[in-house]
Amino acid sequence: MTATPTHCPYCALQCGMTLHPGRGAVRVAPRDDVPASGGGLCQKGWTAAELLTVPDRLTTPMMRAGKGAPLEPCTWDEALDRVAAEAVRLRALHGPDAVAVFGGGGLTNEKAYLLGKFARVALGTSQIDYNGRFCMASAAAASGRALGLDRGLPGPVTDLAASGAILLAGGNVAETMPPFMRHLTAMRDAGGALIVVDPRRTATARQSDLHLQPAPGTDIALANGLVHLAVTEGLADEGYIAARTTGFDAVRTVVNAYWPGRVERITGVPVPAMREAVRLLARAGRAHVLTGRGAEQHARGTDTVSAFINLALALGLPGREGSGYGCLTGQGNGQGGREHGQKADQLPGYRRIDDPAAREHVARVWGVDPGTLPGPGRSAYELLSSLGAPDGPKALLLFGSNPAVSAPRAAHVEERLGALGLLAVADVVPSETARLADVVLPAAQWAEESGTMTNLEGRVLRRRRAVPPPDGVRTDLEIIAGLAARLGAPGEWSADPEAVFGELRRASAGGAADYSGITYERIEAEGGVFWPCPSEDHPGTPRPYLDRFPTPDGRARFVPVDHRGPAEDVDADYPVYLTTGRVLAQYQSGAQTRRVPALAEAAPGPFVELHPDLAGRLGIEDGARVRVESRRGAATVRARLTTAIRPDTVFMPFHWAGEGRANLLTNPALDPVSRMPEFKVCAVRLRPRSSRGDAPHAPRSGPRLEVSGF
């Protein structure tokens, strides 16, 4: 078989790789013709092909005869007939919102689009959202209201190497997308400065020129303090502010209250470090402010990102070539996945579902009456929390996600999944969520199907099929089309990705995320095309803000925001902050990477990272088993002592299931705008595992179900 150029299945950098099929294995080699990765791959990318042949790969549909019965192999017709029949029955009893759909930020653009269409047309349900709500929703909301557009980076990632200074707030790219670091290293080698904002001295922070280490939940105060310093030290770009923005006077009034001494008391960041950060950015010539999940995953995440956008605007960065504000999208298609209909409030092309003109346009493409399209539904956590409730969905169809591990307050989410009349899961391996399902549908993997992905730059890329899927496995497009046929859905339901992309182009035409000028042929010829691209003779838009911002008046908007602290602060009962995140060798819920031997060996299990001073006060030794408790649950993990974290804070990665599941602890408090949960801070207490006593906050666990064939 011939070598196939494609892209890594993991993060939004979408590193280029070539797959070389052979006898019983597929060999991975990096591509040097993809600018974002420049010939680099991380350990996850190098081992990605091992996912194709993991021992417990799902290759046949399975069903339970009833609740509590084991999963048993069945035919595709039996599985799809069961799902369709239950959907019809439950809709007849409880209405169209009785059936919900949950998607993933790793699905191709074609699958995200068809899944959104399936929910609204085949099921008529408003109840659809996806795990990307846990990823970049706050930056999307903040970028939309300030800049008029939700695009990850303000230009190609290669622009970063020519920057004179970069402030990275809440991102640990050295571990989450290692090849991204080459651009930051090139910037520093040319004399630029890297400023990292993070409560931990991460692998990225260790390579920075300046590390600001605020207490969790205080980023708004820090960003406001930096804007205050820019104004009072004469570093704000008054000409840019007057010519290209609105609303600065309101922000100036708010930040007057964030003088350096007060901000230091709130955040713990020394005043000299704050002054240095502002001066480095203001005097760099070209500079960037970037945010990651650490700034977003808060109950005030949209306001937190807005505060950092205010800093970028005050310094005159957005809309200048080689400068700007950007967000580091996490999941492989986190950008495209929300642009085309998986999000509860959006239609394809980044259109609002409650906009009559948007509904008219999309309904015309779909061949339905716009009045039949449902309105906005519940956001991701609200949807998961409502499952099986009297006013909630009674069935869930899930594609490309593992919320039993990845959702906040995970024990509650697992309980709600168990309360459903029907849980149908399409997956490639028996994830923790698939193990709870009533119907399991074995899906094709990244290298076994074609489609497009949109990376963190807004560049639409080709994913190419390199090998056929195993016998008995179907693509998600085939599964969706098969269900739509059984439900008698109107319109076209192709399982061919290029045909689906053609329909996506028409549906997105005229929207903020306009893909109508992008074709498979153009992507092949140009190595990717930047959206918006409204016609086939349009060059694409790598830098969308150079001439004007896509707002009604063409100006960017300052948004005044105030610091209020986390939704759940520490107290006498729970005196320590918990923050969560990722480690180098694992990815998201770990359902894929935990099955790759080299990655499992590099990061074999969960842990809690804590400062030696805190460990000493609690009598906890390095490597000891520790019980970490919050108001929602308890997890037991090994202690890892390090001076890289603040003494008032502990850190846990969220990649593992079982008793070390970090999301048993996390707080589902939601941002009022983006509806993103507060993963990044909650209050906990720690006990050595040998300590005795009651554990009133232990998570509830339902009975373990016997599963045949897993």
Answer for the pair 403, 663: CB distance below 8 angstroms, yes or no.
no
Q: Is the pLDDT of residue 697 over 60?
A: no
The number of folded domains in the chain is 4
DSSP character string of 134-197: GTTHHHHHHHHHHHSS--SSSS-GGGGGG-SEEEEES--HHHHSGGGHHHHHHHHHTT-EEEEE
Can you tell me whether residue 503 is helix, strand or coil?
helix
Q: Which domain holds residue 657?
A: 576-688
Answer for the pair 498, 520: CB distance below 8 angstroms, yes or no.
yes
CATH at 13:
2.20.25.90
Q: Is the pLDDT of residue 694 over 60?
A: no
Q: What does the pLDDT average to over 562-590? A: 96
pLDDT at 243: 98
Q: Does residue 66 lie within any of the structural domains?
A: no
- Residue 581 and residue 646 in one domain: yes
Q: What does the pLDDT average to over 75-89? A: 98
The C-alpha atoms of residue 474 and residue 443 are separated, in whole angstroms, by 5
Element spanning 686, H or E: strand 682-688
Q: Is the pLDDT of residue 703 over 70?
A: no
The tens digit of pLDDT for each residue in 346-393 reads 999 999 999 999 999 999 999 999 999 999 999 999 999 999 999 999
Over 240-259, what HEC string results? HHHHHEECHHHHHHHHCCCC
- Residue 292 and residue 155 in one domain: yes
Cis omega before residue 370 (within 30°)? no
Q: What does the pLDDT average to over 237-252? A: 98
Q: Does residue 564 lie within any of the structural domains?
A: no
- Residue 170 and residue 261 in one domain: yes
DSSP 574: S
The C-alpha atoms of residue 607 and residue 598 are separated, in whole angstroms, by 19
Q: Would the pTM count as exceeding 0.85? A: yes
Q: Is the pLDDT of residue 707 over 50?
A: no
- Residue 85 and residue 167 in one domain: no
pLDDT at 334: 87
- Residue 294 and residue 380 in one domain: no
- Residue 97 and residue 172 in one domain: no
The C-alpha atoms of residue 200 and residue 215 are separated, in whole angstroms, by 10
- Residue 582 and residue 674 in one domain: yes
The C-alpha atoms of residue 457 and residue 464 are separated, in whole angstroms, by 20
Cis omega before residue 470 (within 30°)? no
- Residue 272 and residue 352 in one domain: no
The C-alpha atoms of residue 385 and residue 396 are separated, in whole angstroms, by 12
Copy the structure tokens of residue 195.
């400023």
- Residue 130 and residue 142 in one domain: no
Answer for the pair 203, 610: CB distance below 8 angstroms, yes or no.
no
CA Rg value for the chain: 24
pLDDT at 1: 61
- Residue 316 and residue 360 in one domain: no
User: pLDDT averaged over the chain?
Assistant: 95
State the pLDDT confidence band at 693, using cuts at 50, 70 and 90: very low
pLDDT at 706: 30
- Residue 346 and residue 304 in one domain: no
pLDDT at 702: 31
Q: Does residue 545 lie within any of the structural domains?
A: no
Half-sphere exposure at residue 323, Cβ-oriented, CA atoms within 13 angstroms: 21
The C-alpha atoms of residue 588 and residue 590 are separated, in whole angstroms, by 5
State the pLDDT confidence band at 708, using cuts at 50, 70 and 90: very low
Can you tell me whether residue 564 is helix, strand or coil?
coil
Q: Is the pLDDT of residue 23 over 90?
A: no
Q: Does residue 465 lie within any of the structural domains?
A: no
Q: Taking the C-alpha atoms of 302, 304, 306 and 311 in order, what is their torsion angle to the nearest 10 degrees?
A: -170
Q: Is the pLDDT of residue 709 over 70?
A: no
Answer for the pair 226, 165: CB distance below 8 angstroms, yes or no.
no
Can you tell me whether residue 26 is helix, strand or coil?
strand
pLDDT at 690: 66
Beta bridge partners of 678: 667
Boundary residue ending a domain (328, 358, 388): 328
Q: Does residue 58 lie within any of the structural domains?
A: no
Answer for the pair 118, 111: CB distance below 8 angstroms, yes or no.
no
The tens digit of pLDDT for each residue in 640-670 reads 999 999 999 999 999 999 999 999 999 999 9
Q: What does the pLDDT average to over 73-86? A: 98
